[in-house]
Amino acid sequence: MQILIIAKSKKYGAFCLAGIDVQNNRFVRILGSEENGAFSNEDCILEDGREIQKLDLVELDICPTENNNAQTENYILDSKYAKLLKKCFIDDIPIVPYQRCFFDICDREYFNRNEYSRLNHSLEMVIVSNFYVNDGQRKCSFDYKNKKYRNISFTDLDYLNVGTLEFEKALIIVSLSGEDGFTSTTNRFYLFVSAVYRI
């Protein structure tokens, strides 16, 4: 499958990869062998030994998983090496359609279990304004349709150690946690921003 990697985000000391199946224009989340599906360089690297990065268009073998609930995009690796087809740019990211944005369905940073059970996807691309990350924090804020969203977890590995981050306009990749991220004490599945691109 040819996949354009659009997110490489921190997860349990390793990372998570998400991309777009460019032949079928759909999101995929690539699960690795680490705890709770986290991905490491021991799972898969490029044929020349380099790490897979955001905006790499790669060819690799993956298999769909079962019983993912809202995380319908989940796939498991079926190969050790990925072939780099080319390095892409933000303008190369295709628009993947979905019925309703998370923030149109719910104006907060989480879904309860009842709301979660009605969702059929867990990855989205959203254009926002006034994107901001405070120095030393892993939380972001942004505006979407004249509403301010604050304290949403931010896990993009490209920006975790760069200090304050401010983009007037940005494309963000939003991911919804699965069962491994469910907080039973509060009955919440949280949203987080797994990647950001200045536009």
pLDDT tens digits for 140-177?
Answer: 999 999 999 998 999 998 888 888 899 999 999 999 98
Q: Which two tokens stand for residue 27?
A: 């999101």
**pLDDT score of 180:** 67
Structure confidence by residue, pLDDT tens digits, 177-196: 877 667 667 788 999 999 99
Residues 64 and 73: their CA atoms lie apart, in Å, by 8
**Is 90 exceeded by the pLDDT of residue 198?**
yes
Does residue 143 or residue 81 have the better pLDDT?
143
**pLDDT score of 185:** 75
Structure confidence by residue, pLDDT tens digits, 3-19: 999 999 887 667 889 99
**pLDDT score of 130:** 97
**Is 90 exceeded by the pLDDT of residue 127?**
yes
- Per-position DSSP letters for 55-76, written without gaps between them: TEEEE--EEE-S--TT-TTEEE
* Pairing state between β 139-144 and 147-154: antiparallel
| pTM more than 0.85 | yes
Task: Name the DSSP letter for residue 41.
Answer: T
**pLDDT score of 171:** 96
Which residue reads 């944005």 in tokens?
A: 101
Section 22-29 average pLDDT: 93
**pLDDT score of 145:** 92
**pLDDT score of 186:** 79
Section 39-55 average pLDDT: 84
**pLDDT score of 68:** 66
**Is 80 exceeded by the pLDDT of residue 66?**
no
Written as one letter, the residue type at 160 is L
Q: Which two tokens stand for residue 78?
A: 């079926």
